[in-house]
Amino acid sequence: MKAVSWQVVSKYIGVELSNLRKKKGYSTVKDFALKYRLPEIQYWRMEKGKANLTLKSLTKILAIHKITVEDFFCDIREAA
C-alpha cells in the first residue's frame, strides 16, 4: 500500500472542507467563519491546503458538519 504525501492530504482536506461548506449553503469562507466563530484567515488557509492544521482544529470543523474523521478521509485514496 502506497503512502499518501502531505501535499495530497493537504489538498484533499482543503477541497473537502470547501465542498462541505458549500453544501451547508455558505458561498464564502467569511460567512462560514463568522457563523461558527472560526478565525477567518486560518479557515481560509485550511481550505486552500496551506494550513498545518491540528487534529483538534480539523475535528472541530468536522463536528460542525456532523461528520467523523473516518468518514471524512474514507475517499482519500481515490484523490491520490
* Domain boundaries of the chain, sorted by first residue: 6-79
Specify the pLDDT at position 80.
Answer: 58
pLDDT of residue 1: 53
pLDDT values of the chain reduced to their tens digit, one per residue, 80 residues: 577 788 889 999 999 999 999 999 999 999 999 999 999 999 999 999 998 889 999 999 999 999 999 999 987 766 65
Judged on CB neighbours under 10 Å (0-12, 13-18, 19+), 13 is: buried
What's the pLDDT at 77? 66
What are the distances in angstroms from CA 54 to CA 10, 42, 58, 65?
12, 11, 6, 17
- pLDDT at res. 3: 76
How many Å is the Cα radius of gyration of the chain? 12
Q: 6-79: what fold? A: 434 Repressor (Amino-terminal Domain) (1.10.260)
Q: What is the pLDDT of residue 29?
A: 97
